[in-house]
Amino acid sequence: MSRTDWEVVIGLEIHTQLNTQSKIFSGASIAFGAEPNAQACAVDIALPGVLPVLNKGAVERAIRFGLAIGGTVAPKSIFARKNYFYPDLPKGYQISQYELPVVLGGKINLLVPDGKGGHYEKLVNLTRAHLEEDAGKSLHEDFHGMTGIDLNRAGTPLLEIVSEPDMRSSAEAVAYAKALHALVRWIDICDGNMQEGSFRCDANVSVRPRGQAEFGTRREIKNLNSFRFLQQAIDYEIQWQIDLIEDGGKVQQATVLFNPDTGETRAMRSKEDAHDYRYFPDPDLLPLVISSDWIERVRGELPELPAALSARFEGEYGLSAYDATALTASRETAQFYLDTVAAAGTANAKACANWVMGELAARLNKAELDITASPVSAAQLAGLVQRIADSTISNAIAKKVFEALWNKEGESADAIIDAQGLKQVTDTGAIEAIIDEVLAANQKSVEEFRAGKEKAFNALVGQCMKASKGKANPAQVNELLKKKLG
């Protein structure tokens, strides 16, 4: 069987660290980078006699997420004890939610690259999102023959977001993870820092013969902390499962780890099912009751969501679905674009989008800068777009002006244009004089054009633009050159 004879089934479980000041059941700090075990209080390590107290801020963030995805915020949810032994889990159980989670359902709409330069729409349904505490961390690298235990993360508030198995490729899984990453940052419930473990992905992957209704046996790839690793791990796991089955083997349900150095997954342990954890309601925590008034108050505080803003960009500014989605990939990018259009005028909305996603994005990526740290402000970029629109400068000259703005060589596009004498030449007489000089110096190209070689005309246009140092109006050059050549 070929790869196309198999269908891939993927579901993601994503752990988002909520950006509260303290832990979910204690007042200990969750600040990153503290000395090991400096932020683990008596509640976090379950000393005898301590009791957990639920963090209201964590609940509000869960409500915010539920509303943002169009899910159902449960009026009553229950905290449970998930029992298992691990060295960095001092209690011997994790406080989580099982039968009654805080959020049920919801969906994420996204655009997925089709591998041919285009995109297609995909809807991913969500099963649930539930609140839970994080465990500590086992450290192996710095200890020879021993394991160090850092309990600073124990009790850190998490919202675990579980999708339906709706994805059919690693590209769809990555697009979904990126969309979710953008959303939790947009609604300000998580900083999204994957290097610090604030946003971690577990991927459930299985394969089945195309056309088969029954799912194959899944394996769960744990703790993927970059989109690149997510794609690599899923692609390797897919091929591994297909090869195993085609060689007569059978996939065993398991938890696996991805090794970025080798690009391979390896089994860590046989996969537990829910009954292995012996869930039962936590006797120390009352049911979580969320009133309709509380939900409506949180709804009123939500910002305009990416999907709504993207639709507005399409409707009001005439952008394509792809452009609108790209500009709403982060709240900061969307705001920069809105500020640029506000200063340049809605008539220039498409041009503003091209510059934000094109030249500006490329320079920011190269400099490894976030758009909030852009050396070129929205107002400066708007000024540049306006000067292109009114034909003060050409697109070629605009890149020189942008470079000067980036390097802080002027406070505005106008100042740079005036200081460097970059205004576009639109005087017909001046352009005709340049064309006459070029034609006289390039008789071979003239003859080739008259012999029917269209490329010769483009070469002459290029010579005219070069002779004018890029300042001549390209449209006028084309028009006058055609007249001169008859």
Percent of residues, the chain, with pLDDT higher than 90:
73
Residue 73 neighbours by CB under 8 Å, 6+ apart: 62, 63, 66, 67, 102, 103, 290, 295
Least confident of 68-72, 239-243, 280-284, 453-457: 453-457
Q: Are residues 232 and 315 in the same domain?
A: no
392 pLDDT band, cuts 50/70/90, is confident
- The answer to whether the beta carbons of residues 89 and 81 sit under 8 Å apart is no
Measure the CA–CA gap between 112 and 95, rounded to whole angstroms.
Answer: 36
347's tokens:
């008539």
Residues 404 and 441 in one domain: no
- Could you list the residue range(s) of the whole structural domain that residue 132 is in? 6-294
- Residue type (1 letter), 379: A
pLDDT of residue 85: 87
Over residues 252-306, the pLDDT tens digits come to 999 999 999 999 999 887 766 767 889 999 999 999 999 999 999 999 999 999 9
Residue 274: its pLDDT value, please?
66
Q: How many domains is the chain partitioned into structurally?
A: 3
Average pLDDT over residues 304-319: 95
Per-residue confidence (pLDDT) for residue 32, from 0 to 100: 92
Considering the domain boundaries, does residue 66 fall inside one? yes
- CATH number of the domain within which 443 lies: 1.10.10.410
**Contacts (Cβ under 8 Å, ≥6 apart) of 94:** 81, 82, 84, 132, 133, 135
In a domain, 342, yes or no: yes
Structure token digits, residue 226: 């970059």
Residues 357 and 215 in one domain: no
Asked if residue 288 and residue 316 are part of one domain, the reply reads no
pTM confidence score: 0.85
Q: How far is CA 161 from CA 107, 174, 181, in A?
A: 11, 15, 11
Tell me, yes or no, whether 398 lies in a domain: yes
CB 193 within 8 Å of CB 226: no
The pLDDT value recorded for residue 272 is 67
Record the tokens describing residue 212, joined without a space: 């088969």
Chosen domain end from 419, 447, 475: 419
Q: Which helix (H) or strand (E) holds 125?
A: strand 119-133
Does residue 222 sit within a domain? Answer: yes
Q: What is the identity of the amino acid at 431?
A: I
Q: Is residue 285 part of a domain?
A: yes
Query: Tens digit of pLDDT for each residue in 352-389?
Result: 999 999 999 999 999 999 999 999 999 999 999 999 99
Q: How far is CA 120 from CA 130, 301, 325, in A?
A: 30, 32, 12
Do 321 and 280 sit in the same domain of this protein? no
**Domain assignment of residue 82, yes or no:** yes
| Residue ending a domain, choose from 392, 419, 446 | 419
> Counting Cβ atoms within 10 Å, is residue 186 exposed (0-12), middle (13-18) or buried (19+)?
buried
Q: What is the mean pLDDT of residues 55-64?
A: 98
For the chain, give the mean pLDDT: 92
Same domain, 408 and 450: no
Model pLDDT, residue 483: 81
Q: Which of 376, 394, 419 is the last residue of a domain?
A: 419
- Indicate whether 282 and 315 sit together in one domain: no
138 and 117 assigned to the same domain: yes
Q: How large is the average pLDDT for residues 411-435?
A: 83
Do 94 and 239 sit in the same domain of this protein?
Answer: yes
Please tell me whether residues 288 and 310 are part of one structural domain. Answer: no
How many alpha carbons fall within 13 Å on the CB side of residue 188? 9
| Confidence band for 425, pLDDT divided at 50, 70 and 90 | low
Residue at 274 is within a domain: yes
Note whether 218 and 357 are same-domain residues.
no
Cβ atoms within 10 A of the Cβ of 2, count?
A: 6
Question: Rounded CA gap, 254 and 160, in Å?
Answer: 20
Amino acid 1: pLDDT: 63
1 in a structural domain: no
Residues 409 and 350 grouped into a single domain: yes
pLDDT one-digit tens code per residue, 105-162: 999 999 998 888 888 999 999 999 999 999 999 888 777 888 899 999 999 999 999 9
